[in-house]
Amino acid sequence: MTVAISTYTSGADWLTSLCTDLLPSNGWSVVRETSSERVFGLPGGAGFVAFVIGAGVVEIQAFKDFDPGKPVAGQAGGFSYAYSPFLPRFVLPAGEMKVWTVVNSRRLCGVIKSGASYYSFYAGLILPFGSNRVYPFPCFIGGSGELGGSKESAYPFMSGGNQYCPKVCLPSGDWQIVGGNSGGNSSFTNEFPYSYPYAFIHPFDGKYHRLRSKIDGGSVVYPSLVVSSGRTSDADTSNADDGVWLGYLDGVFAIPQGRAAESVIVVDGVDYLVVPNVAKASETYGLRLS
């Protein structure tokens, strides 16, 4: 695993380091490389992760199978481009930025700090509750939501509306929106409404913002559990609570709230970076750094 904490002169500078050093050094293989697309094969033939590079924005896509002779936009993965722009995305700043990049053989995650905002991203596999036979592609892709809009919010928090929400690949091979319905006006800490066919991340689906320290003042971290929705449509009332526990996000945790951004929580000798929800310092999660 690689944990890189660095300041870069621009987003393009970081992206170059990511694609030429950080990912290849962890066994990610270059499958397709153009000025607007970077596609990598996960080690062991576990699937593919793609980055679609735009003007100041990177979209995240993923595939169980990928044809390197065709552009990313021409292949179905985390979400069809017929519904663009519905892929998770994060900011790629033009100016100086600080980045915490965490890479292993299964996934890439981290956070970009630009100004007073923190843009989180996750691309790759979760830690599934099942073997490859029952869950062939346990993939999750997430970014920072509707950038600059009224529903701006990063995974693992509830991301508001359908656009740019995280996506998870189900054991069936179908993809499902993750926590896309909650929030939208001013707060993303309301109880998640389970009346829609969307997956969610527990405990960020409910009262995580009330998590505090232990009696002795110490910290506790809680794994981020990805749960699918058992509903087949908004009108499906018979499967409202029939979701499947898919697995944990790798290296992403719920933490006691009220900690300063960029501070580090140490639990059992492991460091967790306190990461705000974009510009919302009152909503934080923990990114494992060791």
Structure tokens, 228: 């699918």
Strands 245-254, 29-33: pairing kind: unpaired
Q: Which residue has the higher pLDDT, 204 or 249?
A: 249
pLDDT reading at 200 higher than 60: yes
Strands 117-125, 107-114: pairing kind: antiparallel
Q: Residue 101 and residue 121: Cα distance in Å, rounded? A: 9
Q: Out of 94-103, 117-126, 252-261, which region has the weakest mean confidence (pLDDT)?
A: 252-261
Structure tokens, 164: 């740019």
Task: Please answer whether residues 241 and 230 qualify as being in contact, where contact means their C-beta atoms are separated by less than 8 angstroms.
Answer: yes
Reply yes or no: is the peptide bond before residue 276 cis, omega within 30 of 0: no
Q: Residue 86 and residue 99: Cα distance in Å, rounded? A: 24
Which of 21, 26, 57 lies closest to 41 in space, CA to CA? 26
Burial profile 269-289: b = 16 or more Cβ within 10 angstroms, e = fewer: eeebbbbbbbebeebbbbbbb
Residue 85 vs residues 49, 76, 165, 269: alpha-carbon distances, Å: 17, 14, 10, 41
Position of tokens 């930025």? 97
Q: Residue 106 and residue 159: Cα distance in Å, rounded? A: 24
Structure tokens, 105: 């053989």
3-state SS, residue 169: strand
- Encode pLDDT of 130-171 as tens digits: 999 999 999 999 998 777 776 778 899 876 556 788 999 999
Query: What is the structure's pLDDT at 187?
Result: 41
Task: Please answer whether residues 209 and 285 qualify as being in contact, where contact means their C-beta atoms are separated by less than 8 angstroms.
Answer: no
Report residue 196's pLDDT band, with 50, 70 and 90 as the boundaries: low
Task: Please answer whether residues 263 and 274 qualify as being in contact, where contact means their C-beta atoms are separated by less than 8 angstroms.
Answer: yes
pLDDT reading at 190 higher than 50: no
Which of 164, 170, 116, 115 lies closest to 139 in space, CA to CA? 170
Instruction: Give the chain's length.
Output: 290
Which of 271, 275, 280 lies closest to 113 in space, CA to CA? 275
> Nearest-5° angle of CA 93, CA 94, CA 96?
80
Which DSSP state fits 22? Answer: I
Q: Residue 16 and residue 115: Cα distance in Å, rounded? A: 21
- Encode pLDDT of 218-236 as tens digits: 788 999 999 987 666 556 5
